[in-house]
Structure 1
Amino acid sequence: MPTAAGRFGPAELRLALAAPRPAAGLTSEWRLVDGLRTHTRRSADPGTGAPPVVLVHGLAVSHRYLTPLAVALADTHPVYVPDLPGFGLTERPGSAYDVPRHADHLAAWLAAYRMPPVCVLGHSFGAEVAAALAARHPEVVRAVVLAGPTSDPVARSRRGQIGRWLVDTLREAPLQAPILLRDVWDARPWRVSATLTHSVRNAIEADLVRIAAPTVVVTGSRDPVVPAGWRSQAVRLVPHARDVVVPGAAHNVATTAPAQVADAVRLLLTPTSDEQVTPHAHR
């Protein structure tokens, strides 16, 4: 059962740390993509005919913290959670990829799986990668979910982002900490630091205005990394976007509010989604 918004319990922790072992219907596999052995955590196809959903993790983490959301979506959609180059169980290249290179690797990964156009959901730095994918490779993207997208121009510096993340740690469920420690160990601290530099040098606005696919911006109401002003600006920049605010959740909304985020994804992908507004959505 998914936890309430803002919560993350022992069952979710065990699930997050299970890979590569099968757990809760999720399995691991590796494919060679652009010369890198790339790990993907995936669900079975539920046979509904619904489009695949691809979940893209943030800069210091991996597939692990997105597994509650993958499970929440798996009864209606095939779900794929790749580890970006250098993170999680994917092979580590010698340098840290910037946003465009991650987006191009993700496009090559989609080609390796021969997927139809997907709904791509990126969280935090992963939202930057998702936006770049939609801007650079629009033919592979059916819909976009930007969950807690970084970075707010007001705090677009290493100091600004680290300061906001430190505030966020006080608002997150404590049991997420073991996942972060494992993910930073796998990626190596230098890669996390270099990726943060790439993030603050990436003007996501240039990609947001080029997104042609239907888009939803999802944030937690207690997210200090993505305050209301930046969320509203991001929504205005995307030609076809709306936003959803999850009460009680902080920055890791995709982890601690998987049921609410899954509902936002399903609503986005329904034929009449442009005509519907959930109780927590704002146009």
Structure 2
Amino acid sequence: MPKATPLTFLYLHYWAGSGRAFQAVAERLAPDYAVLAPDLGGFGDAPAPAGGYTVDAYADEVAAFVAAHQLTDYVLVGHSMGGKIALALAARQPAGLRGVALLSPSPPTPEPMTDADRKASLHAWGQRVEAENTLQHITARPLAPALRQHILADNLRSSKAAWDAWLLHGSRENLVARMCEVRVPCTILAGDQDAVMSPSVHGLETLPLLPEGTPLEIIAAAGHLLPYEAPDEVATLLRAFGEKVRQWASAAH
């Protein structure tokens, strides 16, 4: 019998990040799981998305990526901004989607952010000192100098159009009415020291809208950048989720 195609984890990165944030987790998931981690339009090395910077336009991009790579068994791993995009795509019930793992996700509701914080973030684009301050604020565990440089470089190469669009529009989109269409297994992973989106935000804004039984997994002493800060814990939890997804898919068939 031919060997079954491995389940693929498709990582959608955080705002002002890139796909390389998932590298350490991907190494820990290999060879049992395939991993893909594209840059999203306007971030990393990706050009501007053809359809604009709305959550649905990004979801269209991801759907096209799935089709181009002929994925037939995959899990969306949505991190922060990528979480909102993952939920928008999952609500379409695309063929081959087996589950959704949310890492410190932007909720389906408008993201909680004060006007002052939004204004400050808009003015921070392209400024290294501000990028360093942000990195300090959103992480709780010490990071190797090389990783810090990766994070700062990604922040500084974000396009202004993508940067502003998320702050002004994407983060404010409301997907609540669609969440009843998300019908695959889900899980949420959150750091208990996340200064951007605390576990209580996920418990109040996201968890009640996901399928019954969705767990909220708390990673101790971790901040917002879970793949960088806690790759061991993230990989372990994703492995367990991958097994759950496989069992669910087998039962469904």
- TM-score grouping bracket, smaller chain normalisation: 0.7 to 0.9
Deviation, structure 1 residue 213: 0.6
Cα root mean square deviation, aligned: 2.9
Match status 1:114 vs 2:83: no
Task: Calculate the TM-score normalised by the size of structure 1.
Answer: 0.71
Deviation, structure 1 residue 149: 0.7
Residue identity in the other structure for 2:96: V
- 1:35-84 residue CA offsets vs partner (Å, 9 max, x unmatched): xxxxxxxxxxxx77431110110121111222111212122101100111
Task: Calculate the TM-score normalised by the size of structure 2.
Answer: 0.78
Which one of 171, 179, 182 corresponds to residue 153 of structure 2? 182
- Paired with 2:95 and 2:246, the residues of 1 have a C-alpha distance of 21
Instruction: Tell me, yes or no, if the aligned pair for 1:103 and 1:133 is still in contact at 8 Å.
Output: yes
Residue identity in the other structure for 2:142: A
Cross-structure match for 2:138:
169
Q: Which has the higher strand share?
A: 1
User: Alignment length, in residue pairs?
Assistant: 228
Deviation, structure 1 residue 265: 1.4
Structure 2 residue runs of 5 or longer lacking an equivalent are 122-133, 249-253
Call closer, same or farther: CA 1:223–1:177 in 2, change over 3 Å.
same
Cross-structure match for 1:85:
41
Q: Which has the higher helix share?
A: 2
Instruction: Tell me, yes or no, if the aligned pair for 1:99 and 1:132 is still in contact at 8 Å.
Output: yes
- Paired with 1:154 and 1:243, the residues of 2 have a C-alpha distance of 18
Cross-structure match for 2:217:
244
1:41-56 equivalences under 5 Å are 49-56=5-12
1:62-101 equivalences under 5 Å are 62-93=18-49, 96-101=52-57
Instruction: Tell me, yes or no, if the aligned pair for 2:191 and 2:220 is still in contact at 8 Å.
Output: yes
- Paired with 1:274 and 1:181, the residues of 2 have a C-alpha distance of 39
The DSSP-based 3-state class of the residue aligned with 1:129 is helix
Call closer, same or farther: CA 1:87–1:166 in 2, change over 3 Å.
closer
Identical columns (%):
26
Structure 1 residue runs of 5 or longer lacking an equivalent are 1-46, 276-283
- Paired with 1:218 and 1:170, the residues of 2 have a C-alpha distance of 15
- Paired with 1:69 and 1:198, the residues of 2 have a C-alpha distance of 30
Cross-structure match for 1:210:
181
- Paired with 1:243 and 1:224, the residues of 2 have a C-alpha distance of 17
Residue identity in the other structure for 1:171: A
- 1:233-264 residue CA offsets vs partner (Å, 9 max, x unmatched): 21121014111111111111122111211121
- Paired with 1:204 and 1:148, the residues of 2 have a C-alpha distance of 17
Which one of 89, 112, 118 corresponds to residue 133 of structure 1? 89
Cross-structure match for 2:227:
254
Call closer, same or farther: CA 1:51–1:272 in 2, change over 3 Å.
closer
Residue identity in the other structure for 1:126: G
Which one of 267, 270, 273 corresponds to residue 240 of structure 2? 267
